[in-house]
Amino acid sequence: MSLHAKPIDAVDSPRHSIKVRLTKLRQLFNSLDPSPFHEQDLDSDAETYIFESANEHPLAEPIELVVHLPADQLSLPECGDLERAIRHYFAYRAQETRRRMRFQFREGRSALAIGLAFLILCMTLRQLALLLPSDTLGRILQEGLLILGWVAMWRPLQIFLYDWWPIRRQARIYDKLARMRVAILPYDPTD
């Protein structure tokens, strides 16, 4: 990665920038991660800040991460790998999020099978309850079985209709972050 000395609002820059000001480049990464630099995890606070900042902008518009460092930090060899490290991390998070979505759909299929089996059982028992005299107790039993059967379908419907949308958006944001340009600019730490 080359250091971008152009101003943030240069013509070829994305419209949206996420700015991070650090005193040391290592602040951006998890200090307990023993992996090589370009494979290290980001610090959880840094990841949250970058992710939430990216979430504020439309998915279709490119973004840029601008890391402001003191001049003495710009000569570190890690600066040359910063863009690759950040892209690698967010690509990994996108894969992890898609795995979580696949697991949720698998859970939804299991819940659907269980819910449908229970609904069929309740409907069968309801049909048997229709043979009882149609007094108040018989009606309560019939309606209770109907409601109980449909309540069993709540979880699979929730998974397939609502729960996966936020996870999909999260994966798309991580994809966007895995493609973003990273610029490193100097600043004066005495300011």
The string of DSSP codes covering the chain is: -----S-TT-TTS-SEEEEEE-SSGGGGB-TT--S-GGGPPBPHHHHHHHHHHHHTS-TTS-EEEEEEEEGGGTTSHHHHHHHHHHHHHHHHHHHHHHHHHHHHHHHHHHHHHHHHHHHHHHHHHHHHHTTS--SHHHHHHHHHHHHHHHHTTHHHHHIIIIIHHHHHHHHHHHHHHHH-EEEEEEE-TT-
Smallest CA-to-CA distance from 186 within 11, 46, 7, 1 is with 7
Query: Do 57 and 16 meet the contact criterion of CB atoms below 8 Å apart?
Result: yes
pLDDT at 55 over 90: yes
pLDDT at 15 over 80: no
pLDDT of 165: 95
Q: Would you place residue 6 in the very low, low, confident or very high pLDDT band (cuts 50, 70, 90)?
A: very low
CA–CA dist 107, 159 (Å, integer): 8
Q: Would you place residue 13 in the very low, low, confident or very high pLDDT band (cuts 50, 70, 90)?
A: low
pLDDT of 187: 80
pLDDT at 174 over 90: yes
Q: What percent of the chain has pLDDT over 90?
A: 55
pLDDT at 125 over 70: yes
Region 29-40: mean pLDDT is 71
pLDDT at 5 over 50: no
pLDDT of 36: 66
Return mean pLDDT, the chain.
86
Higher pLDDT, 177 or 132: 177
